[in-house]
């Protein structure tokens, strides 16, 4: 039976927590446990599939953000009340950390003695063999801005493809992961970045600021410019 009332804030926050948990559990799980040569491809597909599944499952409850950057972009575009931004972000961060905790427990149970090194390898970086700071800063701002523009476009009122919105969102997120994984392990999502950095030790925590700031900057740019550039004209 279809929903007939607006979901309460509590239900929306639970949906955001669940969706972010699914995303982080999926992408971090594949990054941790899959060891084949096609790992970048598999990780990119995993995060796209996770967002696709989460959006179809609970997107009707909360809007299916699962990402603090998306929430900020939606608010900047007038799609989400500013009063919901901080509660949404808090729920997303909690969902991501819970997913990382479960993987941390699994890593421990598998006999790993240096869990920080394990999680550093799946955290976001801009040095230590990865791309330099400025390159990654530009990359994360640009791909997050484009990602948020895509989300705002496919979920716009009157869109003829609204029913396929999760598919477009999931596939575009996979695309951006294919681009960014070789350079910085791909973020676009502060909740995903913080979740792994918490267990990654000083190296991961030292780099995480960029992956909190850059996606939020890119999302704000997309949100504030969407209506002037792509919105309907009277």
What's the pLDDT at 4? 56
What's the pLDDT at 173? 97
For the chain, the domains span 9-230
Q: pTM of the full predicted structure?
A: 0.94
What's the pLDDT at 234? 40
Residues of the chain with pLDDT under 50: 1-2, 234
What's the pLDDT at 160? 67
Biggest CA-to-CA distance, the chain = 63
- CA 170 – CA 175 distance, rounded (Å): 9
- CA 67 – CA 23 distance, rounded (Å): 9
In CATH, 9-230 is 3.40.50.300: no
* 172, 150 Cβ separation under 8 angstroms: yes
Query: Whose CA is closest to 122, among 228, 12, 201?
Result: 201
Using CA atoms, how far residue 132 sits from 113, 160, 203, in Å, is: 30, 41, 15
- Provide the H-helix boundaries in 66-113: 68-76, 85-109
């Amino acid at each position: 039976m279809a929903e007939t009332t607006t979901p309460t804030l509590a239900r929306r926050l639970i949906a955001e927590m669940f969706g972010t948990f699914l995303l982080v559990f999926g992408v971090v799980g594949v990054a941790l446990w899959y060891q084949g040569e096609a790992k970048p491809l598999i990780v990119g597909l995993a995060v796209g599939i996770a967002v696709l599944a989460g959006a179809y499952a609970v997107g009707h409850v909360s809007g299916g953000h699962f990402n603090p950057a998306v929430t900020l972009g939606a608010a900047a575009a007038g799609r989400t009340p500013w009063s919901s931004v901080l509660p949404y972000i808090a729920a997303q961060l909690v969902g991501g950390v819970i997913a990382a905790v479960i993987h941390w427990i699994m890593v421990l149970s598998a006999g790993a003695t240096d869990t920080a090194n394990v999680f550093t390898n799946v955290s976001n970086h801009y040095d230590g063999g990865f791309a330099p700071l400025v390159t990654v800063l530009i990359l994360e701002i640009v791909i997050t801005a484009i990602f948020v523009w895509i989300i705002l476009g496919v979920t716009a009122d009157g869109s003829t493809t609204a029913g396929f919105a999760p598919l477009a969102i999931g596939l575009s997120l996979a695309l951006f992961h294919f681009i960014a994984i070789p350079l910085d392990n791909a973020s676009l999502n502060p909740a995903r970045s913080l979740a792994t950095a918490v267990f990654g030790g000083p190296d991961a925590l030292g780099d995480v600021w960029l992956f909190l700031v850059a996606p939020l900057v890119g999302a704000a740019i997309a949100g504030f410019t969407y209506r002037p550039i792509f919105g309907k004209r009277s």
